[in-house]
Amino acid sequence: MEKLILKTLVGSRANGLARNDSDYDYRGVFLVSTSEILSLGGSKKTTFWIEGDEDNTSYELGHFLHLACQCNPSVLEVLVAPIVEASEEGMELRSLLPYFIDSQKIVAAFCGYSHNQQVKMLDNKDGRRWKYAVAYVRTLINAETLLRTSTFSLLIPEEHLELLLDIKDGAWTEGRVLDWCKKQEEKVKQLANTFKYEQSLGIVNEFF
């Protein structure tokens, strides 16, 4: 039996780019019983995914922690996204973000994810080119913020909001998006090379 410990709002409703017809996207974490984990011959569910008017993805805690240790952008978002519901365990989980921060893994995971969005943008996947262009840019903005401050917000920073709204509306060319992201990726890599682990632990020390 599964127990939901954390549910958060993600997507355009959380990052400030929603329109009236935008979907609601949720992402969360659940626990499974010890008996299910230890049972012989059983198969433990690691992810639930429900798609429709509301897209809802949840990760089993162990799987979630494995992905968080790799600095997976979609997983780290759950630790900073607006809370829909959370148990005591869910709140404790959110406090662990600084422990997952690894500058080189952030580069690999966030840049890797952004490249995936780049491919979808260039392929105009599902006829949604500019949706993927926004994700391409937004992921690199989050990577920079995470390396600078040891946290980030799903809400688009004011200084980047107009840029992303223009991209979403198709006001930029693909070439302009590619040029911007190339410069942003270089900035992220430079920050990673000068990042010190104590930056993230400073938050933990203040917390305790």
CA dihedral 14, 61, 76, 164 (to 10 degrees): -30
Q: By the 8 A CB rule, do 8 and 78 touch?
A: yes
Q: How many residues would you count in the chain?
A: 208
Mean of the pLDDT values across residues 53-79? 94
Q: Is the pLDDT of residue 181 over 60?
A: yes
34-48, 136-150, 167-181: range with lowest mean pLDDT = 34-48
Residue 208 confidence class, pLDDT cut points 50, 70, 90: very low
The pLDDT value recorded for residue 73 is 98
The pLDDT value recorded for residue 54 is 73
Residue-wise pLDDT tens digits, 105-114: 999 999 999 9
| CATH architecture of the domain formed by 2-95 | 2-Layer Sandwich (3.30)
Domain residue spans in the chain? 2-95, 103-194
115-124, 134-143, 196-205: range with lowest mean pLDDT = 196-205
Residue located via tokens 């979630």: 64
Three-state SS for the chain is CEEEEEEEEECHHHHCCCCCCCCEEEEEEEEECHHHHHCCCCCCCCEEEECCCEEEEEEEHHHHHHHHHCCCHHHHHHCCCCEEEECHHHHHHHCCHHHHCCHHHHHHHHHHHHHHHHHHHHHCHHHCHHHHHHHHHHHHHHHHHHHHHCCCCCCCCHHHHHHHHHHHCCCCCHHHHHHHHHHHHHHHHHHHHHCCHHHHHHHHHHHC
pTM above 0.85, yes or no: yes
Q: What pairs with residue 55 in β-bridges? A: 25
Residue 39 confidence class, pLDDT cut points 50, 70, 90: low
Mean of the pLDDT values across residues 21-40? 80
The pLDDT value recorded for residue 36 is 65
Percent of the chain with pLDDT over 70: 85
Mean of the pLDDT values across residues 59-83? 97
- Could you give the C-alpha distances from 150 to 58, 99, 106, 181, in angstroms and in order? 24, 10, 11, 21
The pLDDT value recorded for residue 1 is 63
